[in-house]
Amino acid sequence: MTDEKLLAEIAAFIGQEAMHSKAHAEFNDAWRSDDYNLDRFQAWLARKDRYVKNLHPKIQLAITCAFEHFTALLGGYILRHPEVLSTLDDDAIKLWVWHAIEEIEHRAVAFDVYQHVYGDDKIRRMIMRSVTTGFASLTFYSATRLFLQDKKKSLPKVGGNVFGIYLLGKMFVQLVPEYLSYYKAGFHPAEIDYSKIVGYWKTRLSEDYQFEGFQDHQTQILYS
């Protein structure tokens, strides 16, 4: 890959993730006004963020590669199994589908930069192992805390809870092969093909939800 092409992809990646952070912040604000207190998690995350920013750039980049693998996998799963979004309203579905598509689109950018600059598979795998443990425990911990904050309403919904746990379990089991592919020698994120499912959802977003074009949307972000 040429340096110019990679630089353009990095710029697009930054633009997309900047928009995601904004969307996450708005989504969290909408939640905050409900029953959920997110401040403690956010303070905890800010501390982690400060810690990560002091690590060697190689490690920071390897962490990004690991997270990008997770977000692409989860994005792909959402698009293939939209039933996981069935309890959400149209706006929230749009938000998650849009995010999922962008995670898939830019899944190889950090990876390509890492390979270009460092190309150290040993560290890449090692960091993936620690990110996996950290990410899994954080997700489990925060989901449990949020569930308990809302326990008066959420506990009595036994059927819904059992179904939710079933959906999550099914997702983890089905994602194992794609997750493990990251540890293979010569792995590249582009080898997981999402073209058909992404094409399907892009059409649905524009037809069913009159969602603006992805490229136009991105150009606006980059040059506004």
CB-based contacts of 213: which residues, under 8 Å, 6+ apart?
206
Q: For residue 27, state whether it binds Fe ion (rule: CB under 5 A).
A: no
Taking the least distance from each CB to Fe ion, the nearer of 170 and 217 is 217
Spell out, one character per residue from 100 to 119, where the chain touches Fe ion: x when CB under 5 A holds, - when not.
Answer: ---x----------------
Site for Fe ion in 33-72 (CB under 5 A): 71
Q: Are 33 and 95 in contact (CB under 8 A)?
A: no
CA separation (Å) from 100 to 42, 65, 135, 224?
A: 22, 16, 18, 23
Taking the least distance from each CB to Fe ion, the nearer of 20 and 58 is 20
Taking the least distance from each CB to Fe ion, the nearer of 103 and 112 is 103
* Gyration radius (Cα) of the chain, Å: 18
Structure tokens of 4? 């110019």
Q: Give the shortest CB-168-to-Fe ion separation in angstroms.
A: 20
Taking the least distance from each CB to Fe ion, the nearer of 14 and 59 is 14
CA separation (Å) from 168 to 87, 148, 153, 164, 185?
A: 14, 18, 20, 6, 29
Of 14-22, 32-40, 123-131, 196-204, the window that binds Fe ion (rule: CB under 5 A) is 14-22
Q: Give the shortest CB-69-to-Fe ion separation in angstroms.
A: 10
CA-CA distance, 201 to 198, in Å (whole number)?
5
Nearest Cα to Cα of residue 194 among 99, 84, 103, 59: 103
The residue nearest Fe ion at its CB is 20
Q: For residue 20, state whether it binds Fe ion (rule: CB under 5 A).
A: yes
Q: For residue 95, state whether it binds Fe ion (rule: CB under 5 A).
A: no
Residues that bind Fe ion (CB under 5 A): 20, 71, 103
